[in-house]
Amino acid sequence: MICEIVTDPILLSRISRPAQAQDFNIARDLRDTLMAHADHCVGMAANMIGRPVRVIAILLEGEPVVMINPQLLKTSGKKYTTEEGCLSLKGVRQAQRFEKIQLQYQDEQGRQKQRTFSGFPAQIIQHELDHCEGILI
Ligand SMILES: [Zn+2]
């Protein structure tokens, strides 16, 4: 289901709770909503569709990848300053990101995954992880 985008900074500033088995349907709605905005959006967190739960979805080579309870294990490479936009906010703002990250998460089937990302995908994930902590750019 394509959901409405939350733009209220107070709601977006709340820390999301861990996802549980009954929350896995959020993943589907988040994926549907991301794909509806795929021409101008590369990632979303579930609190952006009104579900303050630790689920994020990003586009990797045009395909949606959902990550449930994503957890940053390690950052490496240099830290750099970049400009980012956000579907929930107007304009672009500066953000600091790490070049490389190691991430643990569950996929939509509940399988535990561990993956390393670098460059743009790493940047998108760091933006969405911030959303889970109630941090806006
Ligand atoms: Zn955002």
Which of these is catalytic: 4, 83, 99, 128?
Answer: 128
Q: Is position 2 within any domain?
A: no
* pLDDT digits (tens), the chain, 137 positions: 999 999 999 999 999 999 998 898 999 999 999 999 999 999 999 999 999 999 999 999 999 999 999 999 999 999 999 999 999 999 999 999 999 999 999 999 999 999 999 999 999 999 999 999 999 99
Instruction: Count the domains in the chain.
Output: 1
Q: Is position 51 within any domain?
A: yes
| CATH code for the domain in which residue 90 is found | 3.90.45.10
Q: Is position 23 within any domain?
A: yes
Q: Is position 4 within any domain?
A: no
| Domain membership of residue 34 as a residue range | 9-132
Q: Is position 3 within any domain?
A: no
CA of 43 to the centre of ligand 1 (A): 7
CA of 84 to the centre of ligand 1 (A): 8
pLDDT of residue 137: 93
3-state secondary structure the chain: CCCCCCCCHHHHCCCCECCCHHHHHHHHHHHHHHHHCCCCCCEEEHHHHCCCECEEEEEECCEEEEEEEEEEEEEEEEEEEEEEECCCCCCEEEEEEEEEEEEEEECCCCCEEEEEEEHHHHHHHHHHHHHHCCCCC
Please say if 61 is a catalytic residue. no
pLDDT of residue 24: 87
Q: Is position 1 within any domain?
A: no
Q: Is position 137 within any domain?
A: no
CA of 70 to the centre of ligand 1 (A): 16
pLDDT of residue 9: 95
Q: Is position 90 within any domain?
A: yes
